[in-house]
């Protein structure tokens, strides 16, 4: 098969982890006899530096004409001037909106070998295997009005939390479809007790849920959900939530796996089952950011980016065996105690970003 992908490394540790993800992708492509056509595009702060915009037109057109997009991260202190209205983050936000990528799938799996890398107690982590389904193109991130003004001498600002029935229903449907191939439970997270959008969300969750009688639908307020995620995380199967809540809960959930550097994601424009046949590109990215505090040190964990490649192979190309080859290699390398510093414990064999990429690639080239 020919894989036609756009690669957008971005800023900070983005290029560092994407280099390892590409290494792994190349080894899978070789082992299984596929062909790769990868175009590299500018995005984020590095694109601002070179072109004055966070998403140059040719990057967006490259994404549109690809089968899938592999993205690193954007942003960093260099571009964080509060007065600037050009922001690196707009690059990824515009791609999500323009490609209609409303469904962000963020699996959270606690590997047994990493249980001691998490600050949480072992008994809480056993059996943790959930997916956060985050709405990605609506809510506070995009709705208007979104602006700042001065009223007399006082500065004011507004963001708008707006959701339509259609936007809520389609993300709920993705969550139910996913739960039907998993543990048959959906936890819909909202702020129903305070927000009007929360009440609409809950109403529509019930309506969509009625079409899936075999799936248990649980509603949970977001503040309680944040607490339950660390108190009893193994109780969750599929969590579905609006854009901002999903963003926050997924960073929190990454702690269950030991590190922010472990969580991959897929951003899709429809149900998972439709991705491989869709004419539209999906996007794959680690959930973490550009990690400026560790940039350039060669210590970023590339596993989230590498597992994002596995999600890409499975969802965009229907290459299950290839995806499993990556996931198994990651697991074996972790079982052999190799760790980047974010995951390291006393027993670990500490490796750099590129050494971790090499270890995983070696296992793909020489499966046991």
Among the listed residues 93, 140, 221, 230, the single contact to ligand IPM using CB under 6 A: 93
Q: Which two tokens stand for residue 79?
A: 């571009």
Residue numbers 324-343 binding ligand NAD by CB under 6 A: 342
Q: In whole angstroms, give the CA distance from residue 315 to residue 309.
A: 10
**C-beta of 71 vs 212, nearer to ligand IPM:** 71
User: Is 80 a catalytic site residue?
Assistant: no
Residues 6+ apart with CB under 8 A from 285: 70, 71, 72, 73, 92, 264, 265, 267, 305, 308
CB 287 within 8 A of CB 265: yes
**C-beta of 159 vs 358, nearer to Mn ion:** 159
135 touches Mn ion by CB under 5 A: no
In the three-class reduction of DSSP (H, G, I as helix; E, B as strand; rest coil), residue 81 is classed as: coil
User: Is 358 a catalytic site residue?
Assistant: no
157, containing H or E segment: strand 154-158
247 touches ligand IPM by CB under 6 A: yes
Print the binding letters for residues 43-72 with ligand NAD: x by CB under 6 A, - otherwise.
------------------------------
CB 288 within 8 A of CB 258: no
Among the listed residues 161, 292, 337, 348, the single contact to ligand NAD using CB under 6 A: 292
Residues 6+ apart with CB under 8 A from 350: 339, 340, 341, 344
**Stretch touching Mn ion by CB under 5 A, among 73-81, 114-122, 204-212, 240-248:** 240-248
Residue 13 binds: one of ligand IPM, Mn ion, ligand NAD, none (C-beta under 5 to 8 A by kind): ligand NAD
User: Is 247 a catalytic site residue?
Assistant: yes
The phi-psi region of residue 44 (left if phi > 0; otherwise alpha if psi is between -120 and 50; otherwise beta) is: left
**C-beta of 106 vs 202, nearer to Mn ion:** 106
What angle is formed at CA 313 by the lines to CA 312 and CA 317, rounded to 5 degrees? Answer: 100
- Active-site annotation holder among 163, 247, 342, 359: 247
**C-beta of 254 vs 316, nearer to Mn ion:** 254
**Stretch touching ligand NAD by CB under 6 A, among 60-68, 136-144, 163-171, 287-295:** 287-295
- Percentages helix, strand, coil for the chain, rounded to the nearest 5? 45, 20, 35
Residue numbers 236-275 binding ligand NAD by CB under 6 A: 259-261
287 touches ligand IPM by CB under 6 A: yes
- Catalytic positions, written as ranges: 141, 191, 223, 247, 251
């Amino acid at each position: 098969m020919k894989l036609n992908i756009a690669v957008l490394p971005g800023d900070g540790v983005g290029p560092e982890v994407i280099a390892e993800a590409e290494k792994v992708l190349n080894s899978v492509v070789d082992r299984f006899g596929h062909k790769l056509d990868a175009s590299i595009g500018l995005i984020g702060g590095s694109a601002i530096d070179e072109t004055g915009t966070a998403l140059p037109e040719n990057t967006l057109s490259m994404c549109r004409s690809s089968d899938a997009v592999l993205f690193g991260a954007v942003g960093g202190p260099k571009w964080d001037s509060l007065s600037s209205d050009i922001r690196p983050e707009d690059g990824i936000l515009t791609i999500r909106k323009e490609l209609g990528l409303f469904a962000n799938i963020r699996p959270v799996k606690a590997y047994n070998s990493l249980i001691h890398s998490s600050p949480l107690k072992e008994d809480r982590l056993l059996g943790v295997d959930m997916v956060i389904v985050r709405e990605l193109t609506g809510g506070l991130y995009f709705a208007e009005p979104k602006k700042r003004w001065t009223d007399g001498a006082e500065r004011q600002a507004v963001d708008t939390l707006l959701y339509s029935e259609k936007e809520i229903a389609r993300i709920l449907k993705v969550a139910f479809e996913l739960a039907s191939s998993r543990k048959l439970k959906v936890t819909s997270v909202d702020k129903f007790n305070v927000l009007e959008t929360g009440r609409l969300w809950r109403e529509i969750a019930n309506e969509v849920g009625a079409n899936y009688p075999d799936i248990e639908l649980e509603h949970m307020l977001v503040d309680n959900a944040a607490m339950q995620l660390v108190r009893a995380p193994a109780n969750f199967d599929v969590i579905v939530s609006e854009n901002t809540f999903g963003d926050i809960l997924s960073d929190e959930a990454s702690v269950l796996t030991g590190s922010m550097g472990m969580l991959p994601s897929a951003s899709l424009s429809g149900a998972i089952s439709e991705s491989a046949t869709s004419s539209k590109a999906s996007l794959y990215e680690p959930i973490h950011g550009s990690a400026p505090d560790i940039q350039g040190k060669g210590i970023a964990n590339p596993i989230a980016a590498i597992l994002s490649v596995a999600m890409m192979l499975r969802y965009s190309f229907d290459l299950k065996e290839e995806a499993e080859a990556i996931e198994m290699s990651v697991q074996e390398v972790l079982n052999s105690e190799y760790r980047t510093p974010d995951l390291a414990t006393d027993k670990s064999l500490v490796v750099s970003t590129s050494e971790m990429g090499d270890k995983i690639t070696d296992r793909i080239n020489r499966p046991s």
